[in-house]
Amino acid sequence: MKFGVIVFPGSNCDQDVYHAIGSVLCQPIDSLWHGATDVSGYDCLVLPGGFSYGDYLRAGAIARFAPIMPAVIDFARAGGLVLGICNGFQILLEAGLLPGAMRRNDCLQFRCQWTYLKVENNTTPFTGRFHAGQVLRVPIAHGEGNYYADAETLAELERKHQVVFRYCTPTGEVTPAANPNGSVGNIAGIINQEGNILGLMPHPERCAEEILGGTDGRELFASLVDWWQRGDCLGA
C-alpha cells in the first residue's frame, strides 16, 4: 500500500508520519512537497501535523490553498483514502472536505498530553482493528482543536456515525472533564459521509511504538493497510 505524506511549509510531523508508516509499518511512503500538483499512484494521502504557514490567520487556512490541494481534493472526491492529523485535520476542515471548523482551545493554551479516545465507529477503513467502544490512549498537541459544527451539522454527523473518536475518561466515559479543548460533543475525530476522509486532532504517529509509551496509533495505520489489502471498496 503506497502512502504519500504532504509537506507544507511549516509542517513538522511529516517525518514522524514517515517514520511510523515507513519504518514501523514498513509500508512504502513518499514525502510530497506542497508545490506538487500530481498525487496519482498513491493509495492513501496523509496531511500531517505542524504549523503550516505558521498557522497564521487560522490553523490550516493558508495551506488549504497550497498548489497541491486541488489534486488532494480531486483524489479525496474520487474516493481516495485521506488522513488528516492535527494540522492536517484543520486543513481538511478549511478545504471543506470535512464539515465544521476549529476554534482555539477553550483554555486558550496549547495542550500537549495523553488523551483517551473512545472509538465510536469501527467500520471505517481507519478503525477496523478496533472494537466499537474501545478506549485508545493517544497524545494530543495543539492550540486550536476546539471543534465546532452547528447544531444541524452535528446532528447529521451523529446520525450518519461520522463521529469516529471522542475524548473520554480512561474507562470510556465521555465527560466534560475528559475534554481537553472544548470540542462540541467531545469530538476528537470525524469522517466524511463516504467514509474515505478521516480527520483527527490526536497524533497516532506518536504512539506507534512501545518505546514511545503506546501502540494504539500503529493499529490505526495497520487498519488502513488491512482495509487496502482486503481490497474493500468504499461506497459499495
Tell me if 50 contacts another protein by CB under 8 A: yes
Instruction: Considering the complex, state which of residue 57 and residue 234 has its C-beta at the smaller distance from another protein.
Output: 57
**Of all helices (H) and strands (E), which one includes residue 33?**
strand 29-33
Enter the DSSP assignment of 22.
Answer: I
**Of all helices (H) and strands (E), which one includes residue 142?**
strand 135-142
Which residue's C-alpha cell is 514525502? 31
Instruction: Considering the complex, state which of residue 128 and residue 145 has its C-beta at the smaller distance from another protein.
Output: 145
Residue 187 and residue 18: Cα distance in Å, rounded? 26
Cell numbers given for 118: 473512545
Radius of gyration over every alpha carbon of the chain, rounded to an integer in angstroms:
16
Tell me if 137 contacts another protein by CB under 8 A: no
Tell me if 216 contacts another protein by CB under 8 A: no
Among 84, 128, 139, 195, which residue sits at the site for another protein (rule: CB under 8 A)? 139
Among 30, 58, 71, 228, which residue sits at the site for another protein (rule: CB under 8 A)? 58
Tell me if 110 contacts another protein by CB under 8 A: yes
Cell numbers given for 86: 492535527
CA distances from 105 to 117, 133, 143, 219 (A): 17, 25, 6, 27
Among 25, 61, 73, 222, which residue sits at the site for another protein (rule: CB under 8 A)? 61
Binding span for another protein by CB under 8 A among 71-79, 104-112, 167-175, 193-201:
104-112
What are the beta bridge partners of residue 212?
Answer: none
Is residue 1 within 8 Å of 43, Cβ to Cβ? yes
Among 2, 28, 56, 234, which residue sits at the site for another protein (rule: CB under 8 A)? 56
Active site residue 205: yes
Residue 200: name the closest of 1, 13, 3, 9 by CA. Answer: 13
Q: Which of the following is catalytic: 86, 142, 144, 168?
A: 86
Letters for 140-159 (x = contact with another protein by CB under 8 A, - = none) are -x-x--x-xxx---------
Tell me if 76 contacts another protein by CB under 8 A: no
Tell me if 200 contacts another protein by CB under 8 A: no
**Residues annotated catalytic, as ranges:** 86, 203, 205
